[in-house]
Structure 1
Amino acid sequence: MNEETKLEYYIGQFTDGLIGYVPNLIKAVLILLFGLVIIKIIRRVITGIVTKKPEHDPTLLKFILDVATWTLRGFIFVSIIGALGVDTATFAAAIAAAGLAIGLSLQGSLSNFAGGLLIIMFKPFRIGDFIEAQGQMGTVNSIQIFSTKLITPTNQVVYLPNGTLSNNTIKNFSQELLRRADILIGVGYNSNMEQVKNVIFSTIKNTELILQEPAPLIEVRNLGENSVDLMVMIWCERANYGKMVSEFYQNIKAGFDAAGIEIPFPQREINIKNNGNLLQ
């Protein structure tokens, strides 16, 4: 068999094999297209079932959709492999062995998945809540399979691993309707404490966003190096917290100025000696 005959033989073999493989390719493409349609239908059905409830949880819906989507994609992938002529039993055994190895190396990811389930079940926070965790503060944008997405007040995106998040302290600022501000104010030692408290209570009464119930409270907390420190504990509606604190600081400054009450600042007395003589 000369070179030209060999080439024609190999081309013929390749063409016959390709033609024989076309039905498998067509089957695989149809499975892919059909599978994608099925995923869309199932997502719509799940969304319809969950959103029928009067108080449906967007967090739970997002998590269920993610898990269902990735599970169905796995089935579609295996089906396509089978349609292409790969032995699915052998492939499944290889996947199982690889899965074990990957599982051992990705224990953190499995922990994050379990953490996501715990967050969904016990609901320490929901989408839209403002939380502080792992040294980060922000509004919960989404709870994903492995991580939770926060949007910080400066509009940065932070992803917190669900495993670490579910096993550590979470401060949720959105669960309660009311919020208390603890504001430390220092006044001079020569100030009359009764007058100071009267000015503060008058400021509280005249600051519109401060609630009178629960009752505000003023306590002397510390005799500092330069000032007498008072803790002012005042309540407001959760949504008004930042604005209320700002207005209170502005009003208390004006009230102290009008009453002649000093807000002290750190001072130091320095004595300089020259050859043992104190210089004034």
Structure 2
Amino acid sequence: MNLENIDAEKWLELALEYGLKILGAIIIWIIGSWVIKKLLKSTKKVMTKGRYDESLQKFLLNLINWALKIVLIIVVLGTVGVETTSFAAILAALGLAVGLALQGSLANFAGGVLILIIKPFKVGDFIKGQGIEGTVKEISIFNTKLATSENQIAVIPNGKLSNDNIINFSEEGTRRENLIFGIGYDSDIKVAKDVLLNLVNEQKEALQLEGKKPMIFVSELGDSSVNLSLRYWSNNEDFWNLRWLVLEEGKARLEAAGIEIPYPHQVEIQKKA
């Protein structure tokens, strides 16, 4: 009888001890899961309000969800008496190993996150980065795709792109051109300036806004020419067609007005032996 009582008491003691731990673990899991759900919901609202990219939202929400659940699992295991120190050390070592193995990919991922959050450019913008100019076709987590003027697709890693100087030609909606026309030293500067300025003023694509009106001036006295700088503004969609027209028609009108457009000359001197 005494042995039976002792066994029963031990079983009751163990049941109470571990039962309470298991019950506590269940309660912690339920409360923790509810808190994680609320945090994810609030985070999603913040991202939606901040107009984060949809692919970035899904990725970050999944990342946060798994990170919080791993922490919750460790807490639950610690509640039931499992030693979690070594478990956390293993996770840390595993994370370090993965980080070292994917160092380049992680740099591109971090660059992609920065680009999608800061938004230095968006799909459809014409930009220059890493020495490449083109229209942004796609922004993913790891790279950005540009369509160049030669109808080629350039894939640029986000890690390098985010750490480079980026020029966004589309952000302001308008662009200023600065064309250089060289004329001979014997040519009439005033006539040449009037010819080029009148040409630009005739084009409806050239903006005539306050502070953005066309202008021309002598920018340099070169070795063989007087260089005139012709500046004007246009909308982004009109920029290239207007530029090509001004270059071609500008040359034709200068020649028609008798303005010399010099080009480099090479003089060869031969000495008799």
User: Is the shorter-chain TM-score for this pair beyond 0.5, marking a shared fold?
Assistant: yes
Which residue matches 1:242? 240
**Aligned-partner residue type, residue 160 of structure 1:** I
Which residue matches 1:226? 224
1:61 aligns with 2:57: no
Structure 2: tracts of 5 or more residues without a match: 1-43, 68-83
Q: Is the 8 A contact 1:116 1:163 kept in 2?
A: yes
Q: Deviation digits for residues 230-265 of structure 1, max 9, x if unmatched?
A: 111111111111000011112212211221111111
* Aligned pairs for 1:36-115 within 5 A: 60-67=53-60, 97-115=93-111
Q: Deviation digits for residues 177-231 of structure 1, max 9, x if unmatched?
A: 1100110110011101111111111111122322222111212122212211111
Structure 1: tracts of 5 or more residues without a match: 1-45, 75-88, 276-280
Matched length: 212
Give distance in 2, aligned partners of 1:273 and 1:110: 66
Give distance in 2, aligned partners of 1:170 and 1:197: 34
**Aligned-partner residue type, residue 232 of structure 1:** L
Superposed displacement of residue 70, structure 1: 8.1
Which of 135, 154, 179 is 1:183 aligned to? 179
Structure 1 residues 156 and 71, CA, compared in 2 at 3 Å: closer, same or farther? farther
**Aligned-partner residue type, residue 187 of structure 1:** I
**Aligned-partner residue type, residue 173 of structure 1:** F
Which residue matches 1:22? none
Superposed displacement of residue 269, structure 1: 3.0
Q: Deviation digits for residues 129-162 of structure 1, max 9, x if unmatched?
A: 1110011111112221121122222222222222
Give distance in 2, aligned partners of 1:95 and 1:147: 28
**Aligned-partner residue type, residue 187 of structure 2:** S
When normalised by structure 1's length, the TM-score is 0.66
**Aligned-partner residue type, residue 204 of structure 2:** E
When normalised by structure 2's length, the TM-score is 0.67
Give distance in 1, aligned partners of 2:221 and 2:266: 17
Q: Percent identity?
A: 41
Give distance in 2, aligned partners of 1:153 and 1:94: 51
Which residue matches 1:86? none
Which of 192, 208, 215 is 2:188 aligned to? 192
Which residue matches 2:74? none
